[in-house]
Chains A and B, each alone.
Chain A
Amino acid sequence: MDQLLLILLNGLVYGLLLFMLSSGLTLIVGMMGVLNFAHASFYMLGAYVAFSISTLMNFWVALIVAPLVVGALGALVEQYGLRAVHKHGHLAELLFTFGLAMIIGEVIQLIWGRWPVAYRVPESLDFPLFSIGGTAYPAYRMFMMGVSLFMFVVLYATLARTRLGLVVRAALTHPDMVAMLGHNVPRVFTMVFAGGCALAGLAGVIAGNAYQTDPGMALALGAIVFAVVVMGGLGSISGALIASLIIGLVQTVSIGLDMKLSTALGRIGLHVDGITALSDVWDISINRAAPVVPFLLLVIILAINPRGLAGSRSS
């Protein structure tokens, strides 16, 4: 039971982290129609910039400055890159963000090297907060959860309570009409892109030291974030939240389950040992199959509803 509680807590922290990436990406995809392959690269950049800043100064400066740096970079990318490419259509935009992801990855390796950097949890937060069934729970994980929840509230309040939020939500369905009502939609695009990048950067700042900061971190998380966004429904913040939490929990639970699939199914009353043709499948232990789980879930949900959990548009 205690074990389960630990796994659930970790799953929640991971799910909220996924949401910090997927919320920005889903707005960018939903509003601008740009499938931004480089989104997770901004997450990685956030972690590396935070590492450098916290080495030069300290973590708390990095927590504020790194997301701003990444957001500003996002604004430049949108204004001088994407906007120029936009008139050549979606394929060109796709290739642009794909190339951008590779460039960011290479530049990071040029500056910080190929190996993981020693980006560590700040000492002031490096202590066990409480213990569950004899296992100490790190305070930093709770801090991550706090930051994620805070950003969720800020994002929600911005979208639900401000005029800018209203414009963004309207532009999710009819960006052309929003412009023809007199709103500067290109500028709103830049702000949304920059804001999404800053959120991804912030996720990198708080996750890079809890997990690991290395040149592969964008690739590892990027595919999962895409699964989250598609599963939640393009352009849907609430869909992204639900999908983030589901995938975060399911993946953490499956990593924590060190048992064979047949044993797990047996626990819930399904005895499959008789189906010998699939015996290789039943012998897979669940934690080894964990990386596949988000995508398996995605396929199932898309098979049921191609628009995802809460998507209003299918294109």
Chain B
Amino acid sequence: MSAAMLSVRGLDAWYGKSQVLRGVDLDVAPGEIVALLGRNGAGRSTTLKAIMGAVQRSGQVHFAGRDISAALPHDIARAGIGYVAEDRAIFPDLTTYQNLILGEKRGPGGSFTLDDAYALFPRLRERAGAPAGALSGGEQQMLTICRTLMGNPSLVMIDEPTEGLAPMMVQAVRDLLERVAARGTTILLVEQKLAIALAISRRVYVMGRGRVVFEGTPADLAADGATRREWLEV
């Protein structure tokens, strides 16, 4: 895995005194869509936050040839990792437009502009002047993804983008992810809906109790009934 864009080795993370991650190893190669699967509390979201430097952590994280193990979140973002939070973290009092331009920065991932965001999701243009807090859940999800893309990351980490969305919006999010990937942007995805995760990703990691318990292709996972029963199925 010398070609890895993101390489994580022995990543531990804590919330206060309780350890949530225990020695997580994972790699993401350029252009891949990689899914992180597992039940609630398995440590998937925390893995993303730990890579962003948003929780107390230790271990090795390398990105694009740079050691970001001890970097601050804004430096990690500037290095080219975009993050879409599970709780979306839109700025409710600011307008849709203002939310988008807050994400605007130069990055290694190309030149994604406001017009690109509006082209990907025309509804954002229609609601440009509205407070983001007044958007529907699906629109807010589109907004957060586009806001992160405005920073031109070469790797986007997305946490549960389809959670709580109506089926039509789930499909729209899935289309969006595939279009983002088609632009050459690498994606590390945390997703509860197995069907979507397996359909769009090239490789999957399954997590349980703060560790990686399975690594392989979606086909490998489909063939591994024991792993699915123990770590995924409810």
Which A164-187 residues have C-beta < 8 A from chain B? Answer: 166-167, 169-170, 172-174, 176-186
Instruction: Indicate if the CB atoms of A179 and B73 lie closer than 8 Å.
Output: yes
Which A159-210 residues have C-beta < 8 A from chain B? Answer: 163, 166-167, 169-170, 172-174, 176-186
Return A157 CB to nearest CB of chain B, in Å.
16
Instruction: Indicate if the CB atoms of A182 and B78 lie closer than 8 Å.
Output: yes
A312 CB within 8 Å of chain B:
yes
B74 CB within 8 Å of chain A:
yes
Return A57 CB to nearest CB of chain B, in Å.
41
Pick from B88-96, B197-205, B223-231 the stretch touching chain A: B88-96
How far is it, in angstroms, between the C-alpha of A167 and the C-alpha of B104 when the chains are bound? Answer: 12
Q: Determine the residue in chain A with the shortest Cβ distance to B107.
A: A182
Instruction: Indicate if the CB atoms of B91 and A174 lie closer than 8 Å.
Output: yes
Return A166 CB to nearest CB of chain B, in Å.
6
B148 CB within 8 Å of chain A:
yes
Instruction: Indicate if the CB atoms of A182 and B72 lie closer than 8 Å.
Output: no
B52 CB within 8 Å of chain A:
yes
How far is it, in angstroms, between the C-alpha of A179 and the C-alpha of B78 when the chains are bound? Answer: 10
Which A230-253 residues have C-beta < 8 A from chain B? Answer: none
A166-B98, A166-B101, A166-B102 known; A180-B54 Cβ under 8 A = yes
Instruction: Indicate if the CB atoms of A182 and B74 lie closer than 8 Å.
Output: yes
B117 CB within 8 Å of chain A:
no
For B68-108 the 0/1 string (1 means CB < 8 A from A) is 00001110111000010100010111100011011101010
How far is it, in angstroms, between the C-alpha of A183 and the C-alpha of B91 when the chains are bound? Answer: 14
Return B146 CB to nearest CB of chain A, in Å.
12
A167-B102, A181-B148 known; A173-B93 Cβ under 8 A = yes
Residues of B within 8 A of A179 (CB): 54, 72-74, 77
**Range of interface residues on A (Cβ < 8 Å):** 20 to 34
Return A241 CB to nearest CB of chain B, in Å.
16
Instruction: Indicate if the CB atoms of B74 and A177 lie closer than 8 Å.
Output: no
Residues of A within 8 A of B83 (CB): 180
Partner of B147, one of A167, A181, A183, A186: A181
Return B115 CB to nearest CB of chain A, in Å.
19
B151 CB within 8 Å of chain A:
yes
Instruction: Indicate if the CB atoms of A182 and B77 lie closer than 8 Å.
Output: yes
Instruction: Indicate if the CB atoms of B72 and A169 lie closer than 8 Å.
Output: no
How far is it, in angstroms, between the C-alpha of A219 and the C-alpha of B65 when the chains are bound? Answer: 54
For A39-65 the 0/1 string (1 means CB < 8 A from B) is 000000000000000000000000000
Return B192 CB to nearest CB of chain A, in Å.
21
Return B28 CB to nearest CB of chain A, in Å.
18
Which B46-64 residues have C-beta < 8 A from chain A? Answer: 52, 54
Which A126-180 residues have C-beta < 8 A from chain B? Answer: 163, 166-167, 169-170, 172-174, 176-180
How far is it, in angstroms, between the C-alpha of A312 and the C-alpha of B102 when the chains are bound? Answer: 20
Which A105-145 residues have C-beta < 8 A from chain B? Answer: none
Residues of B within 8 A of A181 (CB): 77, 102-103, 105, 147-148, 151
Residues of B within 8 A of A178 (CB): 102
A180-B83, A181-B148 known; A169-B74 Cβ under 8 A = no
Which B178-213 residues have C-beta < 8 A from chain A? Answer: none
Instruction: Indicate if the CB atoms of B92 and A180 lie closer than 8 Å.
Output: no
How far is it, in angstroms, between the C-alpha of A179 and the C-alpha of B85 when the chains are bound? Answer: 12
Which B101-150 residues have C-beta < 8 A from chain A? Answer: 101-103, 105, 107, 147-148
Residues of A within 8 A of B105 (CB): 181-182
| B98, B102, B148 — most chain A CB neighbours (10 Å) | B102
Return B111 CB to nearest CB of chain A, in Å.
15
A166-B98, A182-B77, A183-B74 known; A176-B54 Cβ under 8 A = yes
Return B131 CB to nearest CB of chain A, in Å.
11
- For this complex, 23 residue pairs linking A to B, each with C-beta atoms less than 8 Å apart, are A166-B94, A166-B98, A169-B93, A170-B102, A173-B89, A173-B91, A174-B89, A176-B54, A179-B72, A179-B73, A179-B77, A180-B73, A180-B77, A180-B85, A181-B103, A181-B151, A182-B77, A182-B78, A182-B105, A182-B107, A186-B72, A312-B92, A312-B93
Please provide the 8 A-B residue pairs with the shortest distance between their CB atoms, ordered closest to farther.
A182-B77, A177-B89, A179-B73, A170-B91, A174-B89, A179-B74, A182-B105, A180-B83
> Could you tell me which A residues sit within 8 Å of B by CB distance?
163, 166-167, 169-170, 172-174, 176-186, 312
Q: Known contacts A181-B77, A182-B77; can you find 7 more A-B pairs with CB under 8 A?
A: A169-B91, A173-B92, A176-B73, A180-B54, A180-B76, A182-B103, A182-B105
> Could you tell me which B residues sit within 8 Å of A by CB distance?
52, 54, 72-74, 76-78, 83, 85, 89, 91-94, 98-99, 101-103, 105, 107, 147-148, 151
